Chain A
Amino acid sequence: MSARTARHAALALGGAVGAWLVVLNFGALGAVAWWADGPSALRGADWAAVRFTLWQALLSAALSLLLAVPIARALARRQFAGRGLLITLMGAPFILPSLVAVLGLLAVFGRGGLVNQGLGALGWGQFNIFGLHGVVLAHVFYNLPLATRILLQGWAAIPAERFRLAASLGFGPQASFRQLEWPMLRDMAPGAFLVIFLICLTSFSVALTLGGGPRATTVELAIYQAFRFDFDMGRAAVLALVQFGLCAAAGVLAWRVALPSALGGGMDRPVQRYDMGGAALRLWDSALIAGGALFLMLPLALVALRGLPHVAGLPPEVWHSAARSLFVAIGATGVTLAMALALAHAVLALGGKGGAVLEWLGLAALAASPLVVGTGLYLLIRPFANPRDLALVVTLLVNAAMALPFALRLILPALRAVRDTQGRLADSLGLHGLARLRIVTLPRLRRPLGFAAGLTAALSMGDLGVIMLFAEREGATLPMQLYRLMTAYRLDDAAGAAVVLLGASLALFWACDTWGRGHAKA
């Protein structure tokens, strides 16, 4: 293959992926707009959903960030055994199936949970996890570790020399905060806030399980309800448009602020610090770290303890749904990696404005709502086929598109680095096309590819969203099956299924990531 053919192939493939993303993100939206009734179709409850969506996202993001600052600060200045492990674990919620997290939180904060048992023993009132505070609690559970990792990166980016200078000037903890840490936070916090706000804006499964009712329904959930319970396509479509508007507005905001990524490394090198304060401060930091770790791990430990004994006795339909989920996860992983590689090659081959547009298309799904895309696809498919028959394929494709931004962010910089360091050598040897992909590019990209594959597989395995619009009882994925067990109050089976789901997600991530780390020579 000549250099020119290879370039054309990259552009053609990248263009095809770009066109597909346009269809998925905007074609689906077009179908939604075509079907939508006027805004008058919205009831009072729908406007309440809009208000609730914004309010809970705001609260969740603010609380996550407020709690993350002291915890990240404590982690940044303390060294202790297990510090690296704890920071790694804080990356886990990202790939944690949300229903597993919800089950864990129910075990701690639910009606018969640890907290209420304690309150009951003291003769105090009950804590009710359902409603706004439950939704916010679950979002904080999810996003506090994320925020902590983002802020830790900020702390790691403060040069060690600056702390040394501060020490030579006699800075205490307060002065260090004002002069070194606060300016960093001012830079990092808006981006972190927006990331979490965006995540919470499209919250579906948390609202489905812990929210609901007129006072705790998100727009995403309202779309689902209009769709499945009221069979009101017109109103579902208006709601989808509203949701798209919310996401687009937040996405535009996020575009102006550079979004931080919590996926990077470099957080496990503690800096030598001189502003450690006395015993009181050490105690305070230890309490914060222990509290954060407990909040993160206790719910998951309880789910595991409760569920493990019931795994063996799970009914066959759980295993069938697990097989369907594996199919979706593995398929989505293949599609995402192929799309990310094709897009990344085309972005580099095009360069300039065209490349930037293509890259933007790949990242646009960050602000997309799966249920809006799902509603659109449903409406597009319906004239030609029974959407129920395509439930798994559609779920696979939507999951692949939702994971694409993460994969692209990992793969594009790595590919750029390969081109910059080894592109000329490969050109001078006439290495093009598939031979170049096989001999140079893929081996050099193995690490980001493995990590991206792990993220995609785990996210798709645990996702509960589009499938709820499409599938019936017999076509459920594992998360959907788990949800059904929860609503049927078959809590032992639910805990068992949650363990299977958690195990499968983590195993998929671990297998892909380990593959990426293997051969990490040179």
Chain B
Amino acid sequence: MLKLDDVAITQEGFALHAAFSLQAGARVAVIGPSGAGKSTLLGAIAGFVPVTSGRIVWGAQDITRLPPAARPLSILFQDNNLFPHLGAAENVALGLKPSLRLTAPERAQVAQALARVGLAGYEGRRPAQLSGGQQSRVALARVLLRQKPLLLLDEPFAALGPALKAEMLALLAEICTETGATLLMVTHDIADARAIAPDVVLVAEGRAEGPFPTAALLENPPPALRAYLG
């Protein structure tokens, strides 16, 4: 279970208060007006944005002060999810060992992960030699390999076209099912939420609250969300 226990994030001219808990294995979309603090919320859970007060708890473990890499999670950013000078296999292998010194079975694992996302044979390609969709697949292969129980997505598919995005969301849903990961996904697109997230965390007016059942919330949105949905 992921629990945000009275978490407050204060930056210059910005404050966010977050209090919610998610069941293990939940799939949750984070929605709200732009600038409300959706990315900041994910950054705080991932350890990039310091928390002013409160606690972030995963299961029985307080992760509030842990460095990013020590937290039980994988995160995909809007961009820069791959190192441009490394090949696809190396980018994936970083999820296994940051030293990149792999044993033969580990190399096989990397190849398997790439094959799982449909990129068998693309091991040596650099990001610039891959399409946007393929780049997303490489990042997802790394998520698969890392086997972390919590997965944070900060709109990594925002730049993809609608068909490609639907494809990635389907792949993402499969990966979550296979790994049993808890998914927390920022999105601007209500259709994304409807497609794979049964629940929603709403970030608006300085508060992050939820989870609310997606369908019910979208049918009867509170005023802040209504203004955003238009």
Chain A contacts to B: CB under 8 angstroms: 2-4, 421-422, 424-425, 427-432, 435-436, 439-440, 443-444, 519, 521-522
Q: Which of A3, A443, A444 contacts B69 (CB 8 A)?
A: A3
Q: B77 near A2 (CB under 8 angstroms)?
A: no
Q: B84 near A429 (CB under 8 angstroms)?
A: no
Q: A430 near B69 (CB under 8 angstroms)?
A: yes
Interface stretch (choices B92-100, B165-173, B198-206):
B92-100
Q: Which of B46, B126, B127 contacts A428 (CB 8 A)?
A: B46
B83 beta carbon closer than 8 Å to chain A = yes
B74 beta carbon closer than 8 Å to chain A = yes
Q: B98 near A427 (CB under 8 angstroms)?
A: no
Instruction: From known contacts A3-B69, A435-B99, A522-B84, infer whether A429 and B128 are also in contact, taking CB-CB under 8 Å.
Output: no
Q: Which of A421, A431, A444 contacts B98 (CB 8 A)?
A: A431
Q: B94 near A427 (CB under 8 angstroms)?
A: no
**Can you add 15 more A-B contacts, CB < 8 Å, to A521-B126, A522-B128?**
A3-B67, A425-B82, A427-B47, A427-B69, A428-B75, A429-B95, A431-B98, A432-B69, A435-B98, A436-B98, A439-B90, A443-B85, A519-B85, A521-B128, A522-B84
Among all A-B residue pairs, the 4 with the closest Cβ atoms: A430-B69, A522-B84, A431-B98, A427-B68
Q: Which of B65-82 contact A (CB under 8 A)?
A: 67-70, 74-75, 77, 80-82
Q: Which of B91-117 contact A (CB under 8 A)?
A: 94-95, 98-100
B68 partner residues in chain A, CB cutoff 8 A: 3, 424, 427-428, 430
A423 to chain B, nearest CB (A): 9
Instruction: From known contacts A422-B80, A425-B80, A428-B75, infer whether A521 and B98 are also in contact, taking CB-CB under 8 Å.
Output: no
Q: Which of A3, A435, A439 contacts B86 (CB 8 A)?
A: A439
Chain B contacts to A: CB under 8 angstroms: 46-48, 67-70, 74-75, 77, 80-86, 90, 94-95, 98-100, 126-128
Q: A427 near B85 (CB under 8 angstroms)?
A: no
Tell me what chain B mostly uses at the interface: helix, strand, loop, or mixed: loop
Instruction: Report how far A522 CA is from B135 CA in the complex, Å.
Output: 13
B84 to chain A, nearest CB (A): 4
A-B contact list, 21 entries, CB within 8 Å: A3-B69, A421-B80, A424-B68, A424-B77, A424-B80, A427-B68, A428-B68, A429-B94, A429-B95, A430-B70, A432-B98, A436-B98, A439-B100, A444-B83, A521-B84, A521-B85, A521-B126, A521-B128, A522-B84, A522-B85, A522-B127
Tell me what chain A mostly uses at the interface: helix, strand, loop, or mixed: helix
Q: B67 near A427 (CB under 8 angstroms)?
A: yes
B15 to chain A, nearest CB (A): 22
Instruction: Report how far A439 CA is from B91 CA in the complex, Å.
Output: 10
Instruction: Report how far A439 CA is from B85 CA in the complex, Å.
Output: 9
Nearest B residue to A429 by beta-carbon distance?
A: B94
Instruction: Report how far A427 CA is from B77 CA in the complex, Å.
Output: 12
B99 partner residues in chain A, CB cutoff 8 A: 435, 439
Nearest B residue to A446 by beta-carbon distance?
A: B85
A436 partner residues in chain B, CB cutoff 8 A: 98
B210 to chain A, nearest CB (A): 24
B74 to chain A, nearest CB (A): 7
Q: Which of A425, A443, A522 contacts B77 (CB 8 A)?
A: A425
A521 partner residues in chain B, CB cutoff 8 A: 84-85, 126, 128
Instruction: From known contacts A428-B46, A522-B126, infer whether A422 and B83 are also in contact, taking CB-CB under 8 Å.
Output: yes
B162 to chain A, nearest CB (A): 26
B75 partner residues in chain A, CB cutoff 8 A: 428
B101 to chain A, nearest CB (A): 9
Instruction: Report how far A436 CA is from B94 CA in the complex, Å.
Output: 11
B106 to chain A, nearest CB (A): 15
Q: B85 near A444 (CB under 8 angstroms)?
A: yes
Instruction: Report how far A522 CA is from B128 CA in the complex, Å.
Output: 6
B132 to chain A, nearest CB (A): 15
Nearest A residue to B126 by beta-carbon distance?
A: A522
